[in-house]
Structure 1
Amino acid sequence: MAIKFYAPAWGNTLPFDRFCQNVKAAGYDGVEMALPFEVDEKNTILDSLAKHGLEFIGQYWQSHETDLDEHAANYEKYLRHLIEARPLFINCQTGKDFFTFEQNQRLFELADRITAETGVRITHETHRGKALFAAHITQNYLQKLPGIRLALDISHWCNVHESLLENQSEAVQLAIQHTDHIHSRVGHPEGPQVNDPRAPEWADALDAHLNWWDQVVATHRENKTALTVTTEFGPAPYLPTLAYTQMPIANQWEINVFMMNLLKERY
C-alpha cells in the first residue's frame, strides 16, 4: 500500500515556482489546490508543478451560491475546469449545510456523472458549512448514497460536535470505511485547528486524530489500495493570532511539514 503526501497551496505567499521548490525539497509528492480561470496564470502553475515533478490534486471549495440551479451550474463549471488540468483526482467541499438531502443529492449525483464521463475521481470533504458538515449527517448520506467517497477532515466534526466524537463512534467508523483522502489537520472541541499540534497541551486531540487515521490506513492496507494525505493546517484566521498585532502564533509551513514527517514515520 502506498501513502502519498501533498502540501496545501492555501496560505502560500511565495512566488509559486519557489513554493513548488520548497514543497519538493520537503519531501511532498504534490500539491492540493484550486486553479484560476485565467489561462496564463493557470498554465504557469501547471508548468511549475511539472517542472518540479509534483502531482496535482484539484480542489473545489467555492460552494457559495444559495440558489440550487446556480450552485449546480457553477459546481460543474469548476469541476470541468479542474478536469482539463488532468488532476490525480478532485477533492470537493460539496453542497451546503442548509440544503436539503435531496438538494445536496443532486450535487453528489452530478459529480458521479462527471466522473463516469471523464474518468476523474471525485472525493467529498467533511467540512463545516457543506453537505457533510457533521458526523451524523454524513452517516445518513453514506447509508443512502453508498458510492460517496470521502476526504476525511475530521477536525471539523470535533468543532461541530464540541467533542472528540466519543459519542459518534458508529458515524465515524462508517466514514473511515469510505475515506480515500485525509486532511491531517488536528481539531479540538472549540475549534477546527489547534494552534500547534507539537504542543503538549494538545496531546489528547492529536492522539484522537492519529487513532482515526490509523484506522483509515489499516483499511487501505487490508484492501491494498492507495491513500493520499494533505497536511492542511491553514493560515490565519485558522491559525490563531495575537490580539491587536494579528501576528500568527506559529508557523503554518513548519506545522504542515511536521505533520507530514510524523505520519511518514508512523506509517
Structure 2
Amino acid sequence: MKLKIFKAAWGMLGAWDVRLKQIAEAGYSGVETPLPTVAEEAHFRELIEKYNLDLILHVYTGCEDNAKPYPNSVEAHIDTFQQQAERAATFQPILLNAHSAKDSMSYDDQLNFFEKAIQLEKQIQIPVGHETHRGRATYTPWSTSRLLKDLPDLHITADFSHWCNVCESMLEDQKENLEIAIQRTIHIHSRVGFEQGPQVPDFRAPEYEYALTQHEQWWTEMIAYHQSKGSQYLTVTPEFGPPGYMHTLPFTQQPVVDLWEICYAMGQRFRERFIQQCLQSEVSKV
C-alpha cells in the first residue's frame, strides 16, 4: 500500500504558480484545496498538470466557499453539493472532501441529503469523504455512527480533532462509534486536537504528548484497516490551519509556530510511522 501525503492550500499565500511549485518541490503527492475561481480555472488546471500533482478538492454544502452562516434547508445543501461536486469532477480529482449538511438539521433531512450525495458520488465516480467537522452532520462520533450504520455506502474524511473539541474529551467513551468511523475512513486529516480546541499549539510540545499519542493510535488503526482490505493507497493531509485555528500571541497576533513547517513536520512523522507499520506488517506475514 502506498502513502500519498497532500499539502492543504489553506493558509498558503501567493499566486497558484508559487504555491503549487512549492508543494511539488517539497515532495508532496498533491494539493488539497477548495475549487479555484472560474477566472483561475484554466491556469490552475495547467499548473496541476505541469507539477504532476494529485488533487483533492473541497465542496461546502449550503454555501460556495465555507462562508457562514449557511442555511438549514436540506434542498439548499443538496443543490450546492450537486453543483460543486459536478464542477469538481471536471478536474478529475482522486477524492472530494465534503463539509456536508448541518448539525441542526433533523435526522430525516440528514438522511435525505446523504442518500442524494451517495447517488451523485456514484454518478461522477469519484470517492467522497464527508469530513467529521464541527457545525456539520458529522459533528460528533454518535451522530456520524448513526449515519454510517444506516448508509453502508457512506464514507468519511477522519478529522477527529473536531470531535475532541466538541466532546471536550479524548473520546475515551466512544470506542464503538470510533470503530465504525475508522472502518469508513477513506482520507485522513492528521491534525492533533485536544479537549479545548481543534488544534494544539504545537504537537511536538511535551504537554500535548497525550493528545498526539491518542491521535496516532487512531491513525494506526486506520492504516491497519486499509492494509487488511488491500487498499492501493492511503491519502493523508497534515491539515494544521493558520491563525484562527493556530494559536497566536496576545496583542501581536503573531502565530506561535510556522504553518508550513508544522505541516511538513507532521507529514514526515506520519510517513515514518506509516513505513514502520507497513514493514512490521510484512514481517508478521513471514
* 2:40 counterpart SS class: helix
Farther-moved stretch of structure 1 (90-99 vs 242-251): 242-251
Are 2:42 and 1:43 equivalent residues in the alignment? yes
Residue among 114, 117, 120 paired with 1:111: 117
Q: CA deviation at 1:71?
A: 2.5
Residue among 254, 263, 267 paired with 2:270: 263
User: Paired residues, what number?
Assistant: 266
CA distance in 1, matches of 2:45, 2:248: 32
CA distance in 2, matches of 1:143, 1:68: 21
Q: Equivalent residues in 2 for 1:1-267 (5 A)? A: 1-38=1-38, 40-63=39-62, 64-225=70-231, 226-267=233-274
Q: What amino acid sits opposite 2:227 in the alignment?
A: R
Q: CA deviation at 1:134?
A: 0.2
1:7-65 Cα distance to aligned partner (Å, 9 max, x none): 10111112221111111122210001111342x31222222121111111111135322
CA distance in 2, matches of 1:194, 1:62: 27
Q: What amino acid sits opposite 1:174 in the alignment?
A: I
- Structure 1's consecutive aligned runs of 4 or more residues displaced over 4 angstroms after TM superposition are none
- Contact 1:34-1:82 within 8 A present in 2 as well: no
* 1:171 counterpart SS class: helix
Unaligned runs of 5+ in 2: 63-69, 275-286
- TM-score, length-normalised on structure 2? 0.90
CA distance in 2, matches of 1:59, 1:5: 16
CA distance in 2, matches of 1:223, 1:68: 34
CA distance in 1, matches of 2:22, 2:155: 30
Q: What amino acid sits opposite 2:59 in the alignment?
A: Y
Give the % identical residues: 36
CA distance in 1, matches of 2:29, 2:132: 23
Q: CA deviation at 1:68?
A: 2.2
Q: What amino acid sits opposite 1:127 in the alignment?
A: H
* 2:130 counterpart SS class: strand
User: What do you get for the CA RMSD once the two structures are aligned?
Assistant: 1.2
Q: CA deviation at 1:67?
A: 2.2
Q: CA deviation at 1:77?
A: 0.8
CA distance in 2, matches of 1:156, 1:99: 19
- TM-score, length-normalised on structure 1? 0.96
Farther-moved stretch of structure 1 (40-49 vs 188-197): 40-49
- Contact 1:128-1:160 within 8 A present in 2 as well: yes
1:68-118 Cα distance to aligned partner (Å, 9 max, x none): 222221221111111111111111011100011111122211221112222
1:125-171 Cα distance to aligned partner (Å, 9 max, x none): 10010010001111111111121111000000000111111111111
CA distance in 2, matches of 1:150, 1:69: 21
* 2:201 counterpart SS class: coil
Q: What amino acid sits opposite 2:212 in the alignment?
A: L
